[in-house]
Chains A and B, each alone.
Chain A
Amino acid sequence: MKAFKTISLTIVCLLLGVAIAWQYSSVNENLVLAQYEKKSMSQLVEELLMERENNEKLQSRIQELQQEIEVLKNDETTDKQYVEDLKKSVLMARVMAGLETVKGTGLVITVESGGQIKVRASHIQELLNELKASDVQALSVNDERIVATSEVREAGDDYIMINGRQLVPPYTIKAIGDPDKMEKSLNLMGGVLSKYRVYGFNVTLKKDDNVVIPAVRDDGTVIRTDKLTPVPQ
């Protein structure tokens, strides 16, 4: 009976020791994983979905191009689709550069000081960045088109400079893109519009199906390329 007690106690203690060791090692491992998880679980899913969407888009574009190339290889004279394609790509590049006046669905925002605090270049810049974050295709401030080289500069107490031009308030910002998406991101808690309210700015927001955004002037002063050399593909 005594021997049985000793043996059973030994077994139980052995088990306990193994269990403690096992537990210890798995706690350590979980700590490493938890770090990984905290950093990225929801982010990983989001990134994966985004990457898939990108890849699907690429796939369909690749298929389209392959078909066009087949047509070009087999028969080049019957239809001159490539002439149309070339014209379209020239136009697209000009729109992307800001060299064409465009019309589309979007948002028109006006911002003006409510009296105490002046509207500064940094306030306008913050608004523009927020709009860019919601996938816009064209942007302007007081009809100055925002292009790749557009600066937003503090100039005086009552005006700002964009594309080397003085702009005075009220500032009218136009954006072509999804108006609901833009409005949602502007209205976020702690977002641009809530800050504007704290500053006491007078702000109006209008969705419009026919927002017209003018082209940037094409005299080499805004879009500058003299320091750039194209690298052929």
Chain B
Amino acid sequence: MAKTYKMLMFMVFLLLGMLIALQFRGIINKQDGMSVKEMASMLEAEEAEGEELLERLNDLEAEWSQLVSNIGNRQQDTEVMELIKQRDYEFFRAGLTSVRGDGVVITMQDAQSADGTNDIKDYIVHDGDINDILNELRINGAQAISINGERILGTSKLVCAGPTIFLNRNRYPPPYVIKAIGDPDVLYDAVDQLPNVAIMRLYGIRVDIRKEYDMIIEKYQLYESADEWLSTLEVVTE
């Protein structure tokens, strides 16, 4: 009887000890977890600040333009007025001005669930898939393209980064929304008939295409002055 009792007590205490040790480790782990949460909220704050700064920058750019244009007007300075006109035109052609027009909107969303028979990679949208669509839009005469509000220029960065994509200077999670201005019917048919789109749909990736009229495509956002942007290359005048 005494032996059984001792045995029982031994087992109970052993279990208790293990549980306390486990719990203790759990608490340490949770502290790591806290820092993830903290990191996420720091990132959120930084992103909010970035949005504010962008707005401020755009306001200042507008104010600067207005002041210069006022001076040009007041002084009847034709050189300045001509330069402002030229700048507006070149900014428009370069993608540095927001534009309006008809076209298509393509929304891409990762598959809801993977059935496990294939590689998980087959169920998510990749940079290659998006680049395929961009190329098809260009072949079919798209004149302005943006993804999640980032204007896509000739040298725009578009690269997969984990479950998100990196566009120009920023990272975006799915869904990916591609907007393109051009002939809506031509662009719609071209993307709808793309073999890669059919393959993506087969895996359950959602690719919705719709024609859109009179939509706005945002300008490319500059983060630096013209001087700074031009500092890394030399313009060769012929």
**A23 contacts B39, CB within 8 Å?**
no
- A residues sitting closer than 8 Å to B (CB atoms) are 5, 9, 12-13, 15-16, 19-20, 22-23, 26-27, 29-30, 33-34, 36-37, 39-41, 43-48, 50-52, 54-55, 57-59, 61-62, 64-66, 68-69, 72-73, 76, 82-83, 85-105, 125-126, 129, 132-133, 135-139, 145-153, 176, 212, 223-231, 233
Cα–Cα distance between A19 and B224 once the two chains are bound (Å): 58
| Contact across chains for A30 and B29 when beta carbons are under 8 A apart | yes
Q: Decide if B139 touches A153 in the complex (CB within 8 Å).
A: yes
Assembled-state Cα–Cα distance A136/B154 (Å): 10
Main secondary structure of the interface of B (DSSP, over half): helix
Binds A, one of B88-96, B105-113, B201-209: B88-96
Contact A132 B135 (CB under 8 A): no
B135 pairs with A230, CB closer than 8 A: no
Judge whether B36 and A44 touch: CB under 8 Å.
Answer: yes
Verify B57–A230 contact, CB threshold 8 A.
Answer: no
B60–A103 touching, CB < 8 Å: no
Interface residues on B, range: 35 or more
Count chain B CB atoms within 10 A of each CB in A146, A150, A224 and give the residue with the most: A224
Residues of A within 8 A of B84 (CB): 86
Across chains A and B, which 6 residue pairs bring their CB atoms closest together, nearest first? A104-B233, A93-B90, A33-B33, A97-B94, A92-B226, A151-B138
Q: Are B92 and A230 neighbours in the complex by a CB distance under 8 Å? A: yes
**Closest Cβ–Cβ distance, residue A41 to chain B (whole Å):** 6
| Cβ contacts under 8 Å, A54 to chain B | 50, 169-170, 223
Tell me if B234 and A139 are in contact (CB < 8 A). Answer: no
Contact bitstring B200-238, A, C-beta under 8 A = 1, else 0: 000000000000000010001001111101101111111
Q: Is the CB of A55 within 8 A of B49?
A: yes
Q: Provide the B11-29 mask, 1 if CB < 8 A to any CB of A, else 0.
A: 0110110011011001101
Q: Are B83 and A44 touching (Cβ within 8 A)?
A: no
Say yes or no for B185: interface residue by CB 8 A criterion. no
Q: Are B145 and A148 in contact (CB under 8 A)?
A: yes
Residues of A within 8 A of B102 (CB): 227
- Evaluate contact between A48 and B39: CB separation under 8 angstroms: yes
B67 within 8 Å of A by Cβ?
yes
Find chain B residues with CB under 8 A from A52 CB. 46
In Å, the complex CA distance between A31 and B108 comes to 29
A94 & B90 in contact (Cβ 8 Å cutoff): yes
> Which chain A residues lie closer than 8 Å to B226 at the CB level?
85, 88-89, 91-92
A-B residue pairs in contact (CB < 8 Å), sample of 20: A23-B19, A30-B30, A30-B33, A37-B32, A48-B46, A52-B46, A61-B225, A86-B83, A86-B87, A87-B83, A90-B83, A92-B226, A96-B153, A101-B236, A102-B236, A125-B131, A133-B159, A139-B155, A230-B99, A233-B61
Question: With a CB–CB cut-off of 8 A, which chain B residues contact A9?
Answer: 9, 12
Q: In angstroms, how far is the closest chain A Cβ from the Cβ of B226?
A: 4
Do residues A146 and B155 form an inter-chain contact, with CB atoms below 8 A? Answer: yes
Contacts of A29 in B (CB 8 A): 30
Contact A86-B57, Cβ < 8 Å, known A95-B233, A95-B235: no
A115 → chain B, closest Cβ, in Å?
26
List B residues 124-170 near A (Cβ within 8 Å).
127-128, 131, 135, 138-139, 141-145, 152-159, 161-164, 166, 169-170
